[in-house]
């Protein structure tokens, strides 16, 4: 199984997380590929990063 | 009978109550007066033959009406709502004392202390497999085909549940697994498990696996993965335990991608307990260079310097030294592209059965990239597929996708206590700012109600935590057509990827395994 996601900023949707949700299986090998584009310059608040 | 003597504890939140143990036709006055928050311990015994369905224990108000209240009308209007039944208590007792699933824990550290498989070796002369851990374990005893039990020497006072012998495959996965064992695996030391292999066919299979680098050992994860998913898609290279990095013989680790970026590198090789001299080798292209051949004890070995013409085998210089010293002699030319070099330890010229883990501590400074510029076209399609196996091919917009600048082989098994960190100095200093991360991923643990970090870029420290961008595992199971198992949320805020000033960190809040090939690639 392969999963590819891209973090990019859309004009209509600056909330990047909304575009970048995928499903990963549990206890199974999965190939993931994340791409972070340099044009993603949305809000700078770091609230999603207060977890963990 | 389990319920013959069961201690019951509770905390009373009422003042002036009487404790009464009741079985319809009997009562026991426990104490005359209890204060609020007193802890009342009642120990009672049911005679044999009592119908458990009708027996119960409760507390009554100490009012004068107690004597007037018929106990057979249990629980009655004066009961305080605290009630136990022997059946419930017996069920709890059984649950507490039931054998626990096999898992690895330290004797001294408790459940939170995890151990790692540091290496696995095959001794053809003594016909045995040796699995080394980085600390003492209290792994359950193993049950052989003949019913014998093997006991860890450090576990003489283990509980009843821990003493339960289990099949070897339930706690430790070895590839190839012997088809039959006449003697149970035993602990030669508290951190060394020995598996005697009796049959010639098994011995040959194991020897072959070690020769071609497909052998590995792994401790069980809790919960253990199902058998169908136990093996990675590529069983080569090394395998590992819950945490840390282990290395099976015949493989190499700590591979630097040469090319235009990491032409200067530094490996720090940590040697575990080794019993005989090791050979440190450097591979680059078709060239193989022996760097050091007298490593016989725990030591730090560094290989440092630039790679120079290694393919022609013209200038593979001795740059290894023990005790942390390093040389700066060149190993290859910065002009050489796509030079792949690796460091490996060998027990002798032909086998690596005693090879120790190789830990990549940091890479040296990187050279500026070539004039080839990566231009990435903006894409809002979350389904754009970025396949790491297509290195050198085009991505969205037709931009050239270069080879990964970091492409280690092997499996990184991390629980979150030991993150995998790429130092800032190891990352390219310039670029377009766009980057990718790909790997084979195994998520061992289901969601547990909290966000789990998969990876982030940044220091992870300070008020803003500096984790931009990052990828997370959602804390709950999302029911739906799209995220029916687990959701991975990637947030990206203010992304100005300037890798030279940041630290790329992967931090794992659960048990994750990264698997070859192209295990973990950064583009």
- pLDDT, residue B452, reads 67
Report for B10-24, B109-123, B247-261: range of highest mean pLDDT = B109-123
Task: Give the integer Cα–Cα distance in Å for A31 and A34.
Answer: 10
Sequence length of chain A is 52
Last residue of a domain, one of B346, B361, B377: B346
Task: Indicate the burial class of B69 (C-beta count within 10 angstroms; 0-12, 13-18, 19 or more).
Answer: middle
What does the DSSP assignment read for B31-75? -S---TT-EEEEEE-PPTT--TTT-EEEEEE-SGGGTTS-GGGTT
Task: Give the integer Cα–Cα distance in Å for B79 and B81.
Answer: 6
Sequence length of chain B is 523
Instruction: Give residues with Cβ within 8 angstroms of B208, minimum separation 6.
Output: none
Confidence of residue B126 (pLDDT cuts 50, 70, 90): confident
Are residues A32 and B441 in contact, defined by beta-carbon separation less than 8 angstroms?
yes
- A12 against B242, higher pLDDT: A12
Cross-chain CB nearest to A41 (options B457, B467, B494): B494
For B35-60, what is the mean pLDDT? 54
Residues B194 and B307 in one domain: no
Confidence of residue B125 (pLDDT cuts 50, 70, 90): confident
Domain containing A29 equals: 2-50
How close B225 gets to chain A, by Cα (Å)? 6
C-alpha dihedral, B362 to B368 to B372 to B378, nearest 10°: 60
- B185 against A23, higher pLDDT: B185
Distance between alpha carbon B461 and the CA centroid of its chain, in Å? 24
Kindly report the number of other CB atoms within 10 A of residue B97's CB atom. 12
- Token couple for A28: 């199974």
- Token couple for A6: 């891209």
Does residue B434 belong to the interface with chain A, where contact is any CB pair within 8 Å? yes
For B357-384, what is the mean pLDDT? 30
Q: Which of A14-23, B299-308, B361-370 has the lowest mean pLDDT?
A: B361-370
- Cβ pair B465:A24 closer than 8 A: no
Cross-chain CB nearest to B472 (options A28, A45, A51): A51
Cross-chain CB nearest to A29 (options B381, B442, B473): B442
Q: Which of A41-45, B68-72, B142-146, B463-467 has the lowest mean pLDDT?
A: A41-45
Measure the CA angle with vertex B480, ends B232 and B485; round to 5°.
20
How close B464 gets to chain A, by Cα (Å)? 6
- Cβ pair A38:B495 closer than 8 A: yes
For residue A4, give the nearest of B374, B253, B523, B467 by alpha carbon.
Answer: B523
- pLDDT, residue B198, reads 84
Taking phi over 0 as left and psi of -120 to 50 as alpha, with beta for the rest, B449 belongs to left
pLDDT surpasses 60 at A32: yes
- Cβ pair B487:A23 closer than 8 A: yes
Are residues B35 and B58 in contact, defined by beta-carbon separation less than 8 angstroms?
no
Last residue of a domain, one of B229, B263, B283: B229
Cis peptide before B469 (omega within 30 of 0): yes
Q: Which of B94-98, B317-321, B417-421 has the lowest mean pLDDT?
A: B317-321
Specify the pTM: 0.31
For residue B132, give the nearest of B224, B249, B234 by alpha carbon.
Answer: B249
For B11-34, what is the mean pLDDT? 40
Task: Give the integer Cα–Cα distance in Å for B301 and B200.
Answer: 38
Residues B90 and B28 in one domain: yes
For B150-169, what is the mean pLDDT? 43
Query: pLDDT tens digit string along B258-291?
Result: 332 222 233 333 343 344 444 454 443 334 445 4
What residue in A sits closest to B477 (Cα-Cα)? A23
Confidence of residue B294 (pLDDT cuts 50, 70, 90): very low
- Cβ pair B380:A8 closer than 8 A: yes
Does residue B100 belong to the interface with chain A, where contact is any CB pair within 8 Å? no
Report for A35-44, B49-58, B165-174, B450-459: range of highest mean pLDDT = B450-459
- Cβ pair B490:A20 closer than 8 A: yes
Kindly report the number of other CB atoms within 10 A of residue B412's CB atom. 21
Does residue B180 belong to the interface with chain A, where contact is any CB pair within 8 Å? no
- pLDDT, residue B392, reads 31
Instruction: Give residues with Cβ within 8 angstroms of B35, minimum separation 6.
Output: B15
C-alpha dihedral, B485 to B490 to B491 to B496, nearest 10°: 180
B50 is a domain residue: yes
Does residue B332 belong to the interface with chain A, where contact is any CB pair within 8 Å? no
Task: Give the integer Cα–Cα distance in Å for B434 and B374.
Answer: 8
Instruction: Give B385's contacts in chain A (Cβ within 8 Å).
Output: 2, 4, 33
Residues B122 and B222 in one domain: yes
In eight-state DSSP terms, residue B397 is G
- Cβ pair A44:B446 closer than 8 A: no
Residue with tokens 């966000």: B451
Domain containing B32 equals: 2-97
For B347-352, what is the mean pLDDT? 33
- Cβ pair B469:A24 closer than 8 A: no
- Beta-sheet strand order (sheet of B340-346): B253-257, B340-346, B278-284, B287-295
Task: Give the integer Cα–Cα distance in Å for B267 and B255.
Answer: 9
Domains in chain A: how many in total?
1
Task: Give the integer Cα–Cα distance in Å for A1 and A23.
Answer: 11
**ipTM reported for the complex surpasses 0.90:** no
Domains in chain B: how many in total?
4
Instruction: Give B486's contacts in chain A (Cβ within 8 Å).
Output: 23-26
Strands (E), B374-466: 412-414, 420-422, 435-443, 452-457
B474 is a domain residue: yes
- pLDDT, residue B454, reads 72
Report for B15-19, B144-148, B356-360, B482-486: range of highest mean pLDDT = B144-148
Task: Give the integer Cα–Cα distance in Å for B376 and B398.
Answer: 8
pLDDT surpasses 70 at B415: no
Residues B133 and B197 in one domain: yes
What proportion of chain B, given as a percentage, has pLDDT over 70? Answer: 11
Q: Which of B133-142, B169-178, B333-342 has the lowest mean pLDDT?
A: B333-342
Longest Cα separation, chain B: 104
B245 is a domain residue: no
Kindly report the number of other CB atoms within 10 A of residue B360's CB atom. 22
How close A47 gets to chain B, by Cα (Å)? 9
- Cβ pair A52:B225 closer than 8 A: no
Confidence of residue B255 (pLDDT cuts 50, 70, 90): very low
Residues B210 and B124 in one domain: yes
Instruction: Give residues with Cβ within 8 angstroms of B206, minimum separation 6.
Output: B122, B129, B176, B178, B197, B215
Cross-chain CB nearest to A33 (options B380, B386, B509): B386
- Cβ pair B379:A6 closer than 8 A: yes
- pLDDT, residue B421, reads 62
How close A12 gets to chain B, by Cα (Å)? 10
Confidence of residue B44 (pLDDT cuts 50, 70, 90): low
Residues B516 and B393 in one domain: yes
B177 is a domain residue: yes
- Token couple for B243: 């945490």
Are residues B212 and B234 in contact, defined by beta-carbon separation less than 8 angstroms?
no
pLDDT surpasses 60 at B123: yes
For B131-151, what is the mean pLDDT? 55
3-class SS letters over B216-251: EEEECCCCCCCHHHCCCCCCCCCCCCCCECCECCCC
């Amino acid at each position: 199984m392969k999963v590819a996601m891209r973090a990019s900023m859309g004009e209509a949707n600056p909330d990047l997380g909304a575009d970048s949700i995928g499903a990963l299986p549990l206890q199974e090998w999965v190939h993931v590929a994340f791409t972070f584009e340099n044009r993603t310059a949305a809000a700078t608040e770091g609230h999603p990063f207060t977890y963990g | 009978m389990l319920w013959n003597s069961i201690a019951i504890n509770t905390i009373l939140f009422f003042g002036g109550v009487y404790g009464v143990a009741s079985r319809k036709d009997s009562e026991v006055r426990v104490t005359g007066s209890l204060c609020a928050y007193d802890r009342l311990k009642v120990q009672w015994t049911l005679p044999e033959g009592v119908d458990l369905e009708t027996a119960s224990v409760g507390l009554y108000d100490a009012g004068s009406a107690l004597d007037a209240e018929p106990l057979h009308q249990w629980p009655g209007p004066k009961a305080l709502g605290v009630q136990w039944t022997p059946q419930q208590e017996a069920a709890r007792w059984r649950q507490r004392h039931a054998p626990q699933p096999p898992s690895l824990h330290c004797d001294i550290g408790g459940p939170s202390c995890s151990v790692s498989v540091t290496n696995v070796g095959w001794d053809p002369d003594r016909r045995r497999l040796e699995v080394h851990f980085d600390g003492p374990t209290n792994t359950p005893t193993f049950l052989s085909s003949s019913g014998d039990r093997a006991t860890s020497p450090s576990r003489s006072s283990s509980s009843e549940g821990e003493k339960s012998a289990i099949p070897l495959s339930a706690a430790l996965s070895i590839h190839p697994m012997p088809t039959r064992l006449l003697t149970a695996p035993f602990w030669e030391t508290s951190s060394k498990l020995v598996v005697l292999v009796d049959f010639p066919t098994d011995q040959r299979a194991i020897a072959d696996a070690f020769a071609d680098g497909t052998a590995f050992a792994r401790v069980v994860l809790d919960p253990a993965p199902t058998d169908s998913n136990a093996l990675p898609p590529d069983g080569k290279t090394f395998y590992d335990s819950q945490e840390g990095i282990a290395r099976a013989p015949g493989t190499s680790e700590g591979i630097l991608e040469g090319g235009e970026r990491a032409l200067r590198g530094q490996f720090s090789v940590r040697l575990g307990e080794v019993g005989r001299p090791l050979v440190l080798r450097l591979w680059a292209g078709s060239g193989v260079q022996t760097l050091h051949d007298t490593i016989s004890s725990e030591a730090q070995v560094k290989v440092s310097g630039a790679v120079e013409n290694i393919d022609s085998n013209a200038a593979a210089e001795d740059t290894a030294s023990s005790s942390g010293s390093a040389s700066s002699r060149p190993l290859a030319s910065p002009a050489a592209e796509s030079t792949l070099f690796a460091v490996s330890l060998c027990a002798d010229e032909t086998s690596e059965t005693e090879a120790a883990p190789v830990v990549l501590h940091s890479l040296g400074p990187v050279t500026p990239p070539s004039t080839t510029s990566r231009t990435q076209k903006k894409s809002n399609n979350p389904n754009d597929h970025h396949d790491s196996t297509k290195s050198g091919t085009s991505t969205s917009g037709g931009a050239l996708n270069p080879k990964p600048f970091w492409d280690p082989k092997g499996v990184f098994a991390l629980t979150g206590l030991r993150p995998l960190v790429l130092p800032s100095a190891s990352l390219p200093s310039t670029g377009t700012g766009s980057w990718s991360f790909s790997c084979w991923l195994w998520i061992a643990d289901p969601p547990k109600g909290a966000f789990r970090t998969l990876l982030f870029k940044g220091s992870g420290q300070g008020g803003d935590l500096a984790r931009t961008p990052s990828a997370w595992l959602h804390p709950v199971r999302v029911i739906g057509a799209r995220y029916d198992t687990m959701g991975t949320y990637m947030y990206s805020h203010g992304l100005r990827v300037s890798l030279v000033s940041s630290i790329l960190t992967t931090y794992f809040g659960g048990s994750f395994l990264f698997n070859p090939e192209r295990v973990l690639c950064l583009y």
